[in-house]
Chain A
Amino acid sequence: MKKRLFCPALALSSIILLFHSFLLAQQKEELVVSSVVIHTPLTAFIRGDTLRIEASVSEEIEWMRLFFHCEGLSQFQVRNMDREKNKTYVYLFDTSQLTSVELEYYLAAKFSDREIYFPADAPSEVIKVVGESREPLPEIPPDLPSPEEEDGKFKLPISTDVSLQAKLAEKEAFEGEKKITANGNIRVFYSHQGNFNVDLDSNFNYTNTAFPGYKNIDLSNMLVSISKDNHTFRAGDISLSESWYTVSGLGRRGMEYVYEDQKAYVHFFDVSSQQVKGFEGFGIPKASVSILGGAIGYKFLNDKLAVKAVYIYGKDDPNQGTNTEFSSFLESRKGKAVALMQEARLFKDKLNVNAEFSRSSYDGDLTDDQKEVSDTAFNIGGNYSKGALSLVTRYTHVGRDYNTVGYQAFTKDRNSYESSMGIVHKRLSLTLSYRTERDNVENDPLFNTTKSKNGNINLSVGLSDKVTLDFGYNIDKQKTFQDGMETAWQDSMANEFRGGLNLTLGQGGTLSFSLNNSSVSSQNYPESDMSVVTLNLSGSFRQGETLSLSPAIGYSRSNKKFAPDDSETYNAFLTGEVNIFPQVFSVFFSSSFNRMESDISGVSNIFESGGGLNFYLSRWIKKGSLTFSLRGNYRYTKTYGLSESDYSVMLQCDFSY
């Protein structure tokens, strides 16, 4: 069979080879054959079309490849050609990303003992094709430097931002007010890539209107990273996420070492337990606000089984943290926890079974005489996914005294079981979930037991690329028991309906509408029954560099069924900028209105409006960006019958380098 095919092909190729050069010169679509590769060269194409490049061979080969490049490039790109029919190979060549219509290519075929090219002398001889483009292509700038050249240039590893604002006029100055406010940043950065990679990025910020208890100068960001191969050391602002029961999502200042490859994982860390103020926390954190620990993990059985162990120990003092609002009963604390985790990926990753077991020792109040207590937390669950369907189930137990310093606040004393089902098909996404939960896991007769049943439905439907509809419904029913009998003290039914509509309006425009209807009721204590409806409509519109607008309006109505405490809130916000002469002169504005009507507090109105003129002077200075702004603010409030108004006029200068 092979022989029967081979002989005519060889005869044909011999004849055609005689006219080879002539045919190429004519650039006609005629059959050209190298010794054993038969191919019809391209003679023309239109950029944007998908070309079918086809070649056949006279005997079995290992592969056939297409080598090509456009004008301006010396290196060839290579693609595998797919075997389509018996000894015929095809590559569908998408020409829509070509930078030029002048294309050069050749083919290579790997026979059992040799590689054969088409044209035979490739790559010194190639097939040249000149195509056409529907639209004229832009010229590629000839002087674009390579990234390595750019990296080699010296750059001052510092950038600065300065913002100065002077009050020119105001209705009334308040006590201690500063007539000139100053804010600024100095960022110092450095990056070196080589055998060792070194990265430094830090930011010092200054303000003369610091929050009470803060200094004017603050080290707001800091990270030094040194890495080589799989080893990384970082000092500064790092983020810890090791396990659900020990520490997760904790972004703090400290230091860490990580070794990670495809199999093994080793991590040691020492970070502040709080977001600390000023220059505190850099390097080794203070003992009173320090979390230190480590994790070791390894993947077995071709990555199908992964195990990990985590240990953390630390002390925490919420009073040393920043931007925290907490109840008065949150005290300084300390604790340690160890966790073991496993994850098994089975049936080609369709089934994932994972579990975590953790034991903690914790003292939630270092100021009292009570000693630390120990307890256990664990969960086991899995998820199965096949095609559009995914199923998840999980059982969780958190002991009454289990706690960890890795979280600012941790939900403990819970048993829960949850399962969910998700379907994702094209533009539709549906999730159904159910959870039962209870506290007082030790059935302590001194305490009540509250049980909850929770159901959740979420549906997202993409009506088109530009329109998405979201619906959500959540129901939670709680009852409280003492000695197995339902008590009259605490029960509740919470319902929440959510709806949303998101629209993408052409270039850079979005519009979002959301509705939330929540209610909480109680059979035993209907005095606290409450329902709230909230609507929000917001958008973002941009017209090139000329106009940007961000409006938002909102409405919320709260109703307490058996208490004279209803309220309504109206909200409107608009901000925008009109670049009259882009990069030279613009007008900006920002306004908000808020009205709150309450049965108890009465009516309050707040109206605030500001705006001004920006003068961009960057093109007149050699380095950096400079803007002068003349701005004014007006504020009117009428609260409980008392009205006040205030205005101010300011000159602001902003500089960045």
Chain B
Amino acid sequence: MREILKIIQLTAFLLIYAQTLMAVITFSPSPPNIDQQVTFTVTHPDGISQGSVLWNFGDGTLPIWNNPTIFKVFERKGIYTVSASYRTLRNQDVMDTVSVTVVERRKVSFSPLYPIVNTPVTFRAENFISAVVDWDFGDGTFVTGGTSETHTYTSPGIYMVAAMDLISETIFTAAVRVSVKATGPGATFQIYFVQLRFDDGKSYKIVPKDFSPLHVYADIKYEGTGILRAQWMLDGAPLGIITRALPFARQITIDTSEIMSLPTITPGIHEVSLKVIEPPTENPIPAIRFYVALRKPEIEKVDLSLTKVTGLDKTEITINGDYIEAPAEKYFLLKGVVRSEVERNIPYVLMRVYLNNELVDQKMIENLKPNEKIEFETSIYNATPGLKRIYLTFYDISRKPPLLLSVRRYILQPKEKR
């Protein structure tokens, strides 16, 4: 019974106040610009009498009585709480409010971004309210014209261009640096060329989950001298900021390593881009993508390098890439270094050396730490002439079943063949 009463009370409340809830103040344009005329309209389902609305714009001006629709110009940017107090045709007193953000979008832009002498520069008065603009090009030239004008400078320099929006008589400026040459050390500091890539030069890479390190590189050719400020972006979110003093119009390569290895925790596709803050660039730099796969890493988790291969008589034996040229019917010694790329200590690593299918040596490396280098030495008897394969395998035998960390293959070829 008590619950039924509560429902009835709630229904009555909604019936009484629902119409009030539907009262609203709308405005256009949204968001309004400084000096731009904004139209405010308040509506109520019960109707509002003309001239019975007290408008308060929250900008320090006095409240005024006016119609439900009113025009207003804000002179400063900011967030204003606009209220309308009125009595409905059913004699209900209501006050509605709305928050209005006033912005300044007017600015002067020009193209090309890095002008040179005796080449036309197009200036634009963007988002100006007036269609007629007074232009001062900074070199003694004044023009009353439209929102887009073209001007040519005959000598290099930094020019302060001013454009006046005649409706509010507000002046907007832009500094234009005009240089003699478009390229070279004397040019205005600018990015001439940028290309993003991974370490293999490609713009797409697949990495296993938790892969590290993953870095993106930006090959940059710049002109002039200046300071580069840029943000590396990952999936649209800023990852970190980098700064470089770049003198004398050269090429450089920057990468994400001074921020961090790109996170590879979340499977799926990810985007990396470079947002250049300084100097201004004409176009955004295209993003490149990497894919984090669930599959097990196929990279070598143990980095192996053979430092020396010798015969037992200490004669040096040639290693040519994956090829080892050793004489037949003799022993030879392999000396090398292994380095763990696994980001944890491995209690027991079993290293095995095979000649074709035959196990010739095995070693136990204890407590192998990340990036720790361990030297090893093994001997192999090359019993017969002919092509053979040497395999150096590494297993984490702390795990069950053992985890194969890497396999390195060499081709053993007879020395006489060369």
Contacts and interface: CB of A to CB of B under 8 A. Distances in A.
B251 to A, nearest CB: 6
Given A78-B331, A411-B250, A439-B184, A147 B196 contact: no
Given A207-B269, A548-B210, A550-B260, A408 B195 contact: yes
Given A450-B184, A573-B240, A542 B294 contact: no
Nearest to B374: A97
Given A137-B364, A195-B387, A554-B241, A161 B294 contact: yes
A478 B378 CA distance: 58
Contacts of A439: 184-186, 249
Nearest to B199: A251
A454 B381 CA distance: 57
Interface string B98-122: 0001111000000010100000000
B370 interface: yes
A467 to B, nearest CB: 15
A147 B354 contact: yes
B221 interface: yes
Given A98-B364, A221-B202, A608-B237, A556 B282 contact: no
Interface stretch (B41-49, B134-142, B392-400): B392-400
A540 B248 contact: no
Given A452-B248, A478-B225, A489 B186 contact: yes
B182 interface: yes
Interface in A435-464: 437, 439, 447-448, 450, 452, 454
Interface string A230-247: 100000010100000000
Nearest to A633: B235
Nearest to B248: A452
A529 to B, nearest CB: 11
Given A220-B202, A239-B201, A489-B156, A571 B362 contact: no
B285 A325 contact: yes
B345 A480 contact: no
A508 B247 contact: no
Contact of A97 (B181, B197, B284, B365): B365
A327 B190 contact: yes
A536 B258 contact: yes
B219 interface: yes
Interface in B245-290: 245-251, 258-261, 263, 265-269, 277-278, 281-288
Contact of A185 (B251, B261, B282, B291): B291
Interface string B293-333: 11110000000000000001110001010000000000101
Interface in A319-342: 321-330
B131 interface: no
B294 A324 contact: no
Interface in B343-362: 343-345, 347-348, 350-352, 354, 356-362
Given A262-B318, A408-B221, A569-B241, A75 B190 contact: no
Interface stretch (A16-24, A304-312, A649-657): A649-657
Contact of B244 (A252, A496, A548, A641): A496
Nearest to A490: B186
Contacts of B27: none
Contacts of A626: 294
B238 A592 contact: yes
A193 B168 CA distance: 79
Interface residues of A, number: 143
Nearest to A518: B245
Interface in A146-180: 146-149, 159, 161, 163, 165
Interface residues of B, number: 133
Given A508-B370, A654-B268, A77 B193 contact: no
A159 B296 CA distance: 11
Contacts of B242: 516, 534, 536
Interface string A205-242: 10101010000001011000000001000000101000
Contact of A577 (B175, B249, B265, B313): B265
Interface stretch (B18-26, B61-69, B81-89, B401-409): B401-409
Nearest to A184: B291
Nearest to A517: B243
A518 B237 CA distance: 25
Most chain B beta-carbon neighbours within 10 Å: one of A141, A230, A409, A492 = A409
Nearest to A438: B185
A588 B265 contact: yes
A528 B312 contact: no
Contacts of B101: 641-642
Given A78-B331, A554-B240, A409 B185 contact: no
A476 B265 contact: no
B180 A251 contact: no
Nearest to A530: B227
B402 A141 contact: yes
A218 B289 CA distance: 12
Given A147-B409, A163-B269, A642-B101, A97 B364 contact: yes
Contacts of A542: 343-344
A578 to B, nearest CB: 10
A211 B202 CA distance: 16
B291 A163 contact: yes
B339 interface: no
Given A478-B225, A495-B245, A140 B268 contact: no
A540 B265 CA distance: 12
Contacts of B391: 146-148
Contact of B356 (A96, A148, A330, A544): A148
Given A148-B389, A323-B196, A495-B245, A275 B202 contact: yes
A520 interface: yes
A9 interface: no
A99 B362 contact: yes
A75 B379 CA distance: 10
Contact of A550 (B261, B268, B362, B364): B261
Nearest to A435: B248
A408 B219 contact: yes
Contact of B258 (A437, A474, A514): A514
Q: Which 6 A-B pairs have the closest CB atoms?
A: A251-B201, A409-B221, A476-B247, A656-B295, A656-B294, A518-B245
23 contacts: A78-B312, A97-B363, A141-B395, A147-B354, A163-B291, A185-B206, A203-B206, A237-B202, A249-B201, A323-B197, A324-B193, A324-B286, A409-B221, A448-B180, A476-B247, A496-B245, A507-B344, A531-B227, A534-B229, A534-B243, A573-B234, A588-B265, A588-B266
Interface of B: 31, 77-79, 101-104, 112, 114, 156, 158, 175, 177, 179-182, 184-186, 190-197, 200-204, 206, 210, 212, 219, 221, 225-227, 229, 231, 234, 236-251, 258-261, 263, 265-269, 277-278, 281-288, 291, 293-296, 312-314, 318, 320, 331, 333, 343-345, 347-348, 350-352, 354, 356-366, 369-370, 376-379, 381, 387, 389, 391, 393, 395, 397-398, 401-402, 407, 409, 411, 418
Given A148-B389, A325-B193, A325-B286, 4 more contacts: A163-B269, A163-B291, A530-B227, A573-B238
